Structures are given as C-alpha cells and as structure tokens.
Amino acid sequence: MAIRKFSTYEIGITYILVGFTKGGVYEYNYAIAGEINIETMKSYALAGSGLYRFIQRHAKYKYSRRIT
C-alpha cells in the first residue's frame, strides 16, 4: 500500500484544493494550472490514486495560492 502524500482535497467547478500531509493547503485553478491539469487532478483525487505524482510531475508550482 502506498503512503498518501496528501490528506484532504476539495473539488470546485474550476479548482481543486489539496491538503498535503506535511502541511499546507494549496489551491490549483484553471487560470494558473490550466483546465486539462485541473480536470486530471480531480480525476486522480476521486480515484484515490495518482494525484501526488501528477502534481509533482505537471503542476508542482502551478498553484494559485497557499491557504494554510
């Protein structure tokens, strides 16, 4: 079983919030990360696998803001 690198997520129409286990909640949205990336991230989150790896490879610094 893989160790999850994120603890929570919240999906909106044009964004996803991701809470990482080592701290920080980050917002990724269409304007910064792009619609295709956000929709892919939503799919991985709902599937329960692959979200962290996708963020590391394609969206690591494409967050719109750090919330906490």
pLDDT at 1: 44
In tens digits, the chain (68 residues) has pLDDT values of 455 677 899 999 999 999 988 889 999 999 999 999 999 999 999 999 999 999 999 999 999 999 98
CB 44 within 8 A of CB 54: yes
**Which pairs with CB-CB distance under 8 Å and at least 24 residues apart come from 24-29?**
24/66, 24/67, 24/68, 25/66, 25/67, 25/68, 26/63, 26/65, 26/66, 26/67, 27/63, 27/64, 27/65, 27/66, 27/67, 28/55, 28/59, 28/62, 28/63, 28/64, 29/64
pLDDT at 4: 66
